Amino acid sequence: MTIVTSVDSELSALLGIQQQRIRVQRISSVDERRARIQRVIDMLVARQDEIVDAIDADFGGRHPGYSTVNDILGSLTALKYARDHVAEWMQSEQRAVFSPYDQLGATASVQYQPKGSVLILGTWNAPVYTLLSPLAGVLAAGNRAVLKSSEIAPRTAQVLADAAAELLDPADVAVVTGGPDIAQALTSLPFDHIVFTGGQAAGRSVLANAARNLVPVTLELGGKSPVIVGRSADLATAAFRIAVGKATNGGQICVAPDTVHVPVELVEPFIAAVRESYAELLPTASGNVDVTAIVSDGHADRIDEYVRDAERLGARVEIVPVEPVDTTERRRPLRLVLDPPESAMISQEEIFGPAMVIRTYDDVEQVLEQINAGPKPLALYYFGHDVEEQNLVVESTSSGGVTINDVLMHPGLLDAPFGGVGASGMGHYNGREGFLEFSHARTVFVASEQDPRREWGMLPPYADGYRASMAGQVTPE
């Protein structure tokens, strides 16, 4: 016997409110969709300072400039792009009709309908962006949404929930706070689609819960995004851009460079170049307000243990900048871990913080074999100007997306899909692909006035020659 708690009842009631609105108004006009998106934009503009301050407090130190760029402007850009393009995305598409009905006046089209009510589960490293970026496509597609903020960033979650309660209609967009129990309850409800950003273990739980109600799911799960530095790369540029990627948000990004593969003869110049570039960006870690703190003591301890474990197993560790690791706070220097054994934790687990594995190689084909032997990553990066090798890397691997001669760039494209593949996720959003992800593509066939099937002998009672007539059309051309 299932005991329904008051929390379950409240969440079910919230979904019920949205589903009732959907039943009353199945299709929304362009203006209505734009208005819903605009209300979220207005809310974000009005509460930006409170949100940025809350993120800083949740992290224990994250520069307000970065939070403004990533979570405020990043979300606004996605929302505005959807608002400004939804009219063209909504247009039905004419499709070809099979013969002979195409000659008799029949028509066919694909129309894009809202799925209904969509649950969006965000994560702590981009606590606003991972909610509002997919929300852009959800609202553009004419859906309603329930947003669940990460409990690891509770202040941000509360600010967003308070803002939504005051400025948004919960029948259109509602924000829910709480821990894993709330996420379990929400993902067990019959939403019409679920979007989840986070780790693989939680992603499996979301998928299992959704399966009970046959709810389609979009999962963005991250992974160990590899970087290949080719022999044709500009080493200084590659080192600088990788250093920037690793310094961004303290490496706490789902597409952050995790493992860098460097030709064996270039590894020492590469380490020196990374050291120079990273130290230019962040000359100190301890007490430096430009350094994003690791979000919690538990996460900081996890990363520290990854590095200690690699050292115990004989790996060389370089600290950038060279300074003692101050465990009285959660800001850390970058730790470069050179050629750790495959058994090391840092070789197996997504780092998600200010540490990076460097592996040496002789032949790029060996690197591709290594990458292809592991789980498919969310992002893959290649540095080099050898076009043939570029093509080899792209065509010989599978990943959610690829950036050439930089890192972190392709997820920011507004007019291209972002998402994972295999272990790094399923489905995608951003721009029109997000609109399509959260729409039901419905085929509409309009029949012609004339139906030739009876006169052609294609309806019962069948003529003696019916089978032979049809068999005569079975040809290889």
User: Same structural domain for residues 137 and 233?
Assistant: no
Residue 379: inside a domain: yes
- Name residue 57's amino acid: A
Does one domain contain both 68 and 99? Answer: yes
Digit-coded pLDDT (tens) for 227-267: 999 999 999 999 999 999 999 999 999 999 999 999 999 99
220 included as an active-site residue? yes
Domain for residue 452, yes or no?
Answer: no
Is 174 domain-assigned? yes
**Residue 154 and residue 232 in one domain:** no
∠ at Cα 221 (185, 161), nearest 5°? Answer: 45
The residue among 232, 229, 238 whose CA lies nearest residue 259 is 229
Same domain, 316 and 343: yes
**Residue span of the structural domain in which 125 resides:** 6-221+428-440
User: The domain that contains 309 carries what CATH number?
Assistant: 3.40.309.10
Q: Strand, helix or coil at 316?
A: strand
In a shared domain, residues 276 and 166: no
Is 242 inside a domain boundary?
yes
Specify whether 371 is located in the same domain as 350. Answer: yes
Task: Provide the pLDDT for residue 3.
Answer: 35
**Residue 405 in domain:** yes
What is the C-alpha separation between 179 and 186, in angstroms, rounded? 11
DSSP class per residue in 16-34: HHHHHHHHH-SS--HHHHH
Q: What is the C-alpha separation between 152 and 150, in angstroms, rounded?
A: 5
Per-residue pLDDT of the chain (477 residues; tens, 9 = 90+): 233 346 789 999 999 999 999 998 888 999 999 999 999 999 999 999 999 999 999 999 999 999 999 999 999 999 999 999 999 999 999 999 999 999 999 999 999 999 999 999 999 999 999 999 999 999 999 999 999 999 999 999 999 999 999 999 999 999 999 999 999 999 999 999 999 999 999 999 999 999 999 999 999 999 999 999 999 999 999 999 999 999 999 999 999 999 999 999 999 999 999 999 999 999 999 999 999 999 999 999 999 999 999 999 999 999 999 999 988 999 999 999 999 999 999 999 999 999 999 999 999 999 999 999 999 999 999 999 999 999 999 999 999 999 999 999 999 999 999 999 999 999 999 999 999 999 999 999 999 999 999 988 899 999 888 999 999 999 998
Cα angle 466-468-473, degrees, rounded to a multiple of 5:
100
Catalytic residue among 88, 220, 305, 342: 220
Tell me, yes or no, whether 30 lies in a domain: yes
Q: Which residues pair with 23 in a beta bridge?
A: none
- Whether 241 and 212 map to the same domain: the answer is no
CB 172 within 8 A of CB 36: yes
The answer to whether the beta carbons of residues 213 and 316 sit under 8 Å apart is no
Q: Which CATH number does the domain housing residue 28 bear?
A: 3.40.605.10
Can you tell me which residue has the tokens 């509770």? 154
User: Do 205 and 322 lie in a common domain?
Assistant: no
In a domain, 206, yes or no: yes
Is residue 68 domain-shared with residue 215, that is, in the same domain?
A: yes
237 and 202 in a common domain: no
What is the domain count for the chain?
2
How far is residue 332's CA from residue 284's CA, in Å, rounded to a whole number?
Answer: 9
Q: Is the whole-model pTM more than 0.85? A: yes
Out of 419, 450, 468, a domain closes at 419
Whether residues 282 and 150 fall in one domain: no
Catalytic residue among 32, 166, 254, 311: 254
Rg (CA), the chain: 26
Same domain? 434 vs 386: no
Q: Kindly provide the b/e burial profile for residues 101-112, where b requires at least 16 CB atoms within 10 angstroms of the residue's own CB.
A: beeeebebeeeb
Can you name the residues that pair with 360 across neighbouring β-strands?
262
Q: Is residue 340 part of a domain?
A: yes
Active site residue 88: no
